[in-house]
Each structure stands twice: as C-alpha cells, then as structure tokens.
Amino acid sequence: MKTLYFDEIENWNEPTVLVLGYFDGLHRGHQALFAEAKKLAAVLNLKIAVLTFPEKPTLIFQKFEPDMLLKLTSDKKREELFAENGVDYLIFKDFTSCFAKQTAEEFSKNVLDKFLPKVVITGFDHKTGSDMTQLKGNDQYKVVVVPEVSDEKGKISSTRIRELVKTGDIASANALLGYPYEITGIVVHGFARGRTIGYPTANLAIKDFIHIPSPGVYTVDVLLQGERQRGFASIGYNETFNGKEKTVEIHIFDKDLDLYGEKLTVLWLDKIRDMIKFESIDALIAQMKEDEKKARQYQEK
C-alpha cells in the first residue's frame, strides 16, 4: 500500500475504486465498505484508493475540546488496518472549512475526478459537506452507498465503540471492531512496587492520542519480541499506595525481562474488575492471584 498526500499529487493516471470516509477504528461497519470495494475492484480489475483525513472532521464544526484529538487507533495501526482491508492507495486530505463547503458538483470536480474513479463507495451516513446521493447520475462513475451494519443493540459505529472503551467494556468494543483494541507505549521507570510483591510490571508511557480504557484490571495479550504473551494490566492511581498519577501497568505472565525503552503493543481483551483500595499488601496480593487465574483462563471469543 502506498500512502500519499492529496496536495502533493500532480498526475494521477490509474482508474480506481475510490472509498470515502474518516474510518476511526476501521470497525465491522467500515469493513463492509472495503468488502464491497474488493469485490468491485476484482470484477473491474481496478486498484482501491481511500480518500480520508488525518483528524476527525468534527474539529472544524464544534468548539475544540482536547478529547477531540483522541482516536480508536494510532496513525500507524490505522494504516495497517487499511492495508489489511485491501487498500492499494491511502490518500490523506486535510479537512478544512473550504473543503467542507464545496457543493456536490465542486467536490466531484475538484476532488473525486482527480483519482479517475469508476466507482465511488461511501457509507450510508458519510458526509463531506456535500450530499453524495446527488452524484448518483454522474456519467464518469457509479456511486455505491453501503447500508448500515447493525447488531442486536443497533448501529455499529465509532461513537458507540468509543463509549465502550471509555467505560471499560473492552470485550463488547472488540466484538464491534472485529479485532482486539490495542495501545502501544514505551516502557518507562515507575515505582517498582510490583516487583516487591511478586508481580513486576512494565509501566507504559503512551505517546499516541488514543482512548485509554477506564480504570480497572484487564486481561491482555502483549506483542513482545515477535510473540503474543498473556498477562494482565491495571489502569489507575495505585490507590492502595496513595498514588496521585494515572498509570498503565502491564504484568506479563512467566516473563521477567528488562524492558525499559522497549515499545510494547497491548491487546486489551476483557475487564476483570474495577480498581479497589486494599487495606493491606497481603489483601492486594491475594486479589492479584485471583486476577491472574481469571486472565490465564480467559478464552478470546
């Protein structure tokens, strides 16, 4: 897959199936668009191109709040997911006020036509500031609008997944994503308390603007040195030790490695429990043994 930037493209000479959208998380609803794109690309012998945005389009429509920069996937993971879904060309375009104000005809002429699309694919709720349904009669390309993908609780959407992640319902979020929610961080020095109680942890500093699950203890898998290892993670303030700063700590089962400076990718599988302030270290250790048992026994669905 090639990653390109809209404003740097001068001469495009390859007809495409062009997919439009922001695709935060690239969840099962989004995957339906790419399944359609792959089917049409195979029939028409075309490459798949995606026109997307580095940040959420809502940034130009609403009063700014820092949480608006948070995503369900890091930029690196998002590109990997596009590639896994059959994308040949990933094209980024800054979403600006001028871009959003284009009419359907202007959007077609100034943006879409540049990529010589034979088919343009969007989701049923896709908006660029223009109504894509107005383009259905275009002689140059056909517009395919992929319908809503739902489960028993309603539409599968990035908004719904964000809420599940923020409340710690990781198993439900994963079911909608179609893959385990993941976070990558750098292992840094913490207070080293875990080692003194038999559970050494890797303390993660997370650089990506990504949603962190709510405080609690979770079953996780860790991608470490080319292998996937089971462990558990805690997110919280170390209440038992009167901690003040929020930490993300990972214990990898059956491993005691010096990981400082390493990048760890953590796959979040399920929440075990909320955070608790224990009356004694012995009570904390007893609970961690129960947490470990649950994490080891967890079977990914």
* Residue 177 token pair: 């994503």
Do 86 and 33 belong together in one domain?
A: yes
Task: Indicate whether 262 and 145 sit together in one domain.
Answer: no
What is the domain count for the chain? 2
Q: Average of pLDDT values for 90-97?
A: 94
Q: Are 12 and 116 members of one domain? A: yes
Q: How far is CA 76 from CA 3, 29, 142, 210, 267, in A?
A: 11, 20, 31, 12, 15
Decide if 271 contacts 170 (C-beta within 8 A): yes
Q: Nearest CA to 33 among 189, 156, 171?
A: 156
Same domain, 199 and 150: no
Distant-in-sequence, close-in-space partners of 153: CB < 8 Å, separation ≥ 6: none
Q: Residues 235-261: pLDDT tens digits?
A: 987 654 444 467 899 999 988 778 889
**Whether 129 and 44 share a structural domain:** yes
- 202: containing domain: 181-297
Cα of 30 vs its chain's centroid, Å: 12
* Domain final residue pick, 155, 173, 204: 155
Domain presence at residue 251: yes
Listed residues 155, 172, 189: the one ending a domain: 155
- CATH code, domain with 64: 3.40.50.620
pLDDT in tens, 146-185: 998 999 999 999 999 999 999 999 999 999 999 999 999 9
| 3-state DSSP assignment of residue 207 | coil
Q: Tokens 């979040």, residue?
A: 268
- With respect to residue 172, please indicate whether it lies within any of the assigned structural domains: no
- Model pLDDT for residues 22-77, shown as the tens digit of each residue: 999 999 999 999 999 999 999 999 999 999 999 988 888 888 888 889 999 999 99
173 lies in a domain?
no
Nearest C-alpha neighbor of 77 from the set 217, 148, 194, 180: 180
Q: Which residue has the higher pLDDT, 108 or 279?
A: 108
- Residue 175: inside a domain, yes or no? no
Q: Is residue 9 part of a domain?
A: yes
Residues 135 and 193 placed together within one structural domain of the fold: no
In a domain, 74, yes or no: yes
pTM for this prediction: 0.90
**Same domain, residue pair 194 and 69:** no
Residue 218 lies in a domain: yes
pLDDT value at residue 238: 60
- Which residue stretches of the chain are H helix? 28-44, 75-84, 97-100, 104-110, 158-167, 170-177, 193-196, 281-297
- Regarding whether 54 and 8 lie in a shared domain, the answer is yes
Do 19 and 91 share a domain, yes or no? yes
What is the average pLDDT across 190-216?
82
What would the mean pLDDT of 273-278 be, rounded to a whole number?
A: 87
Read off the amino acid at residue 29: G
Q: What's the average model confidence in pLDDT over 192-217?
A: 84
Together in a domain, 132 and 12: yes
Which residue type does 41 have?
Answer: A
pLDDT of 231 strictly over 50: yes
Q: What is the pLDDT of residue 280?
A: 82
Residue 163 lies in a domain: no
The two beta strands, 202-205 and 150-151, are unpaired
Gap between the Cα atoms of 234 and 219, Å rounded: 9
Name the token pair of 298.
């967890």
Record the tokens describing residue 156, joined without a space.
């599968």
Mean pLDDT of 131-148: 74
CATH number at residue 286: 2.40.30.30
Do 151 and 188 fall within a single domain? no
Whether 141 has a pLDDT exceeding 70, the answer reads yes
**What percent of the chain has pLDDT above 70?**
91
Domain co-membership, 259 together with 141: no
